[in-house]
Chain A
């Protein structure tokens, strides 16, 4: 009986196959999801459960909502939250204290708890997410401890260790069974949203941030804001689950929202698989049922959590994708990838606001302590030209590119892109202004397909060639991949491409964004001679469409043939600038590269 109900809850998300991050365009029946959800809610409302089973189902449904939050922040965005029980507690205490002590409406309390959790989550995120993930882990643990301290010690408000009892629920849901049905409906609704999230703009941004923060920023994604959103969503779902939990059990106490519970939430998310809401439901179901089956373990305090700790290590070591990750990888093997729509030709229509100079760099300097990596460099890149920036190793080329794209702040000087001053703009704003780039050490989103990588490029805000619809984005991404010569391999994972092809995907990602200026950081590095020829031809095709290119490379043949204009750097200073042929014969340039007699 109990397993039947449990299966009902799990089965209702089954069509979420497509939530597997790799197949966004898998045709899924949203109607099927709706039908299964209705069946699950109906079963929850009508099956003659006894009180014990009812409690387990109630716990599973409310916990799973909180675990959905972890699947967003950890699975989608790659950020850790070790305070989910605290956020769960916010919702629970808001409903508990509000309805029991102040007799405020359940709904109002639930909403209030969610708002407080959202605020707290955003505050934590805002202070911590600019820094690395270690900080977030420790700060969330600290936060969790503080919340527990307050719950236990602020007795006049929280009732301290005694907890809150006589929690009310809405009168129309006064029967246990009706309330369970409501929780299952909430679970299905939130599950649907979380399932759809990866295919939305925000969800794609989260995945990009998880895979490669630098590349995400360069593709026009506000990395910091995306992380804060993910974190706030996680806190919000935690509070929702907690509020429903309090209504379901009518009694709460601080130990239900301790750090140990946060770890249990984490284990649930990891065990089921963090990449998908189905995983969350599976993991939650398992970890609520297993303890019920193994009750005898509870006779020894600590043994239980010790096993959780061990399980966390073992899952991370041997099953990093969790149960559902394992199952879905098998399903994937037998599922034909949908054929993408036909690719059209790639159109590049670089916007034009400013005058003839697309990029105007004046007196640019970047000092690292005493080291003047770039020292007062001027560059002017003319519209629709291919401009090369060359110089011996250590002359400051890549530093300039990093300053141009906002990864380093400039020490002095100004950068104007298409007439607009971008010297102080953050990375993603420069991308929105029309700056595209590739990296010398390739930075792709490695858990995604080639197509998904390029879609993220196409999605750049400021790209007027797509209207933002999923179809238009995909069409543009397909065209960009075909343009660089990778037609037919769109659905393959990045890891299955050779080094040279990964480089082409990076270029396609930049082109799909329809930039005003394309920065190429040593595109020929590591390519063999035939790949270099292909690259050269590609550069010609790009230039033919009027897109301005600033290229850094060591390959003199490529540079002298492709570029019309060359700027030469040495020791962070500009030593020559002008038409290709003249510059390459300049005595200073020859001495910088080959050494001189004097």
Chain B
């Protein structure tokens, strides 16, 4: 800074040592070096040589491990083989050599800085007091800019600027937002189970095969999908269903409770015999509620631990879920399970428009 420059100081003065110049430079930068001493006042002592050897060793290790990394990278068998083999050690060897090399380099530099660089205490002035004169001058300059435009005394231009700029701003935002916007329509209300062209949708396994009542043993359950093209893929992520074959007394308990949820008892009931099917998509956050505890007939969602009591129409009995899992109305046609209709309420997590 020019304000710190001392005109009387002659940097060309031959009597000045280099460190004198360093101190003068620091002084002009507002820094005073108050303590500056070599770590080893007497050069070549045993202690100093020991530090030098340590640093040299660390640099040596850096090179050695770096070389080992390159060698391992090229020649270690790396391609995946089933079972056990040397390839399983490829990654650990790379990590050990690369990490070791970098760590040695870091340690060498840090030891050098801490043990060999001179001890130093420097004090720098913060110059943190605001310069009020400068502030006044800059403020005046800014205000003058506003005056120069004359926007204050030209209300027409003020209005015109607003009228002109606002639509242009909208025009800039429109393609960004507009391109993304997509109308939800009824995608949250319909699933692949909706009968298509008057045909009921078959209940299928992941491989597309039909499910017959005798396939699911008493007390057993199976994850099933709508029998439509790609029905078991993520194209129909809202459609997975858990089909449960309840034991007699559990089925009786559920049947007795069916009337608690009007839609489930419509049309002769949504159960078929002792079979019942529930949407697998948790009504809390959409994870598959898939841990079925057979003894208590509870279904647990592993994401946030909502628990649904199957024998009470999948009522949420614990956790953050607030709604029952929707029941898929089941029936049997030609010996295989089909869905009587789509779910009668929207499946999955809640949303604003959900009635």
Q: Do A and B bind each other?
A: no
Q: Which chain A residues have a beta carbon within 8 Å of chain B's beta carbons?
A: none
Q: Which chain B residues have a beta carbon within 8 Å of chain A's beta carbons?
A: none
